[in-house]
Structure 1
């Protein structure tokens, strides 16, 4: 029997309803939570910015988009982030990847104020996550876990294998899975015998950004497969998981329509938390 498709749409609907309920507590003249969105020239980043704007506009959340030229200097970037950090009208700051070449990757983690860090990239927020006490969790991995929770897929006591170790998805995903009482294995580009590791997974989560990396023979029969990968081939979005996996897994997130929409909805939830409208977010 083909795998059950774990689509993101019903999860997004649930989150949107809760967001709208919390926004309704604001007085009519109160300022709306506002996201400062730093967008580089990269096409994938601009596509993601478009998706964020679409959801945020639907929710009546404000976005201040700022375009980052590829020629932007490190000093210009530092001034911009500090200016946004000091701006009382800005609730949260998100810098999409990849940043211009002149900007060191770790600069943002050191620069962004934790109280305006809407995607958990600052050293302070990453440290809280590592200690199992997240204040803001990165939206993509948290969205994946919320999707599993929505469909009643048990995490505690199961073996979760994560493909990918980036600080944006793979590493925080592993920490969130540990907090949910999974046994976690992290694989990456230097892992020998990758298929041997993935065939042990009760839940296989891939964030490698390598199209169709995971083939059917790499999946244990009946496993749950969560695909965070997004690549473009011949103008079509594809994930890290080959379509043939659907005949072997028990459940699978599609690409597109799986984890992606949930990521953007969780970003909005994070923004409401920073605005003080959702104190008990993220869910434990």
Structure 2
């Protein structure tokens, strides 16, 4: 068996052409506002990648950079200003923010109609209940990737390793809505290898390099790695998988490009709904 490569980079490029055509039909160019608090170089790189993607599809972007000393109240005021700006269709608050800031309060202050990164509590609740809402960008991108490659989800056992509110939990909810039987594993899970060994679909969303060992994963599984670490490592050890599993996302080039694509796509959808 040779694993099918779930090529997020190629799919994102293909989808950008379609998104550009939709942008061209709008009278007013959609604008994504990005908020970066502090000077973390990795966060700055991620924000710039999202700005670049906006440019490729003809969307506008507004970069808001705040000092690392910013308070919760100051950040809330910035978000409120963007909520009330009719030109802004989407708001992205880059995670993480400095420790003195109440990140959850700031996420939840984003207008749900502009929550294109899917980070608000209200948006999560609506998505989990199967109602219209913008999904968290990484899980939404993964679902688009799986659909494009015709990966069967209904009736399958999916194991999501990680329970963060913007990745693991929404990923599990989306898979459940797609009729998977879902197990969520985390730092307190006992017999992690055994749990993963029963999975038809494994999603690595734990944020630790190669925590999930290749020999834990059964033959024929679908492997989705949402991690990225120095040296091109993911959350899942890949050695030996390519000849055993049904499908696998590369690192890099799998989930990452689809995260950005989902963000841009949802910003455009917001613009179309607000038009």
User: Whole-Å Cα distance in 2 between the matches of residues 5 and 258 of structure 1?
Assistant: 9
User: Could you list the per-position Cα deviations for residues 241-281 of structure 1 after superposition, in whole angstroms to 9, with x for gaps in the alignment?
Assistant: 112133432211011000111111111110011112699xx
Q: Alignment length, in residue pairs?
A: 273
| TM-score, L = length of structure 1 | 0.91
Report SS of the residue matched to 2:103.
coil
Please state if 1:237 is matched with 2:235.
no
Considering only aligned residues, what root-mean-square deviation do their CA atoms show, in Å? Answer: 1.6
1:248 to 227, 244, 251: 244
C-alpha offsets along residues 171-198 of structure 1, whole Å, 9 cap, x if unaligned?
A: 0001100111111000011111100000
The CA distance in 2 between the partners of 1:24 and 1:93, in whole Å, is 21
Structure 2 counterpart of 1:267, from 232, 251, 263: 263
**1:162 corresponds to which residue?**
160
Contact 1:225-1:249 within 8 A present in 2 as well = yes
For the 8 Å contact 2:24–2:58, the answer to whether it is kept is: no
State the distance in 2 between where 1:237 and 1:65 align: 28
CA 1:166 to 1:98, structure 2 compared with 1: closer, same or farther past 3 Å? Answer: same
1:92 correspondence with 2:90: yes
Find the aligned partners of 1:83 and 1:23 in 2 and give their Cα distance.
24
- SS class of match (1:204): strand
Q: What is the CA–CA distance in structure 2 between the aligned matches of 1:195 and 1:67, rounded to whole Å?
A: 42
8 Å contact kept, 1:22–1:278:
no
Is 1:37 equivalent to 2:40 in the alignment?
no
Shift of 1:136: 0.7
Deviation of residue 203 (structure 1)? 0.5
Match of 1:282 in 2: none
How far the C-alpha of 1:151 sits from its partner, in A, is 1.1
Long gaps (5+) in structure 2: none
Q: Give distance in 2, aligned partners of 1:4 and 1:184.
A: 23
Query: Which secondary structure state, in structure 2, belongs to the residue aligned with residue 53 of structure 1?
Result: helix
Larger mean Cα displacement after TM superposition, 12-21 or 70-79: 12-21
Q: CA deviation at 1:88?
A: 1.5
- Residue 18 of structure 2 is matched in structure 1 by 18
> Normalising by the residue count of structure 2, what TM-score does the alignment of the two structures yield?
0.94
Note the C-alpha offset of 1:55. Answer: 1.4
**Gap regions ≥5 residues in structure 1:** 280-284
Runs of 4+ in 1 over 6 A off after TM superposition: none
After the TM superposition, which residues 204-223 of structure 1 pair with which residues of structure 2 at under 5 Å, given as runs? 204-223=202-221
Tell me the distance in 1 between the aligned counterparts of 2:123 and 2:140. Answer: 14
Pairwise CA distance, 1:106: 1.4
Tell me how far 1:210 sits from its aligned partner: 0.5
Local SS of the residue matching 1:238: coil
1:115-165 CA deviation, whole Å, 9 max, x = no partner?
111111122211101211132111110111111111111001100000010
Matched with 1:258 is 254
Instruction: Report if the CA contact (8 A) 1:34-1:63 is conserved.
Output: yes
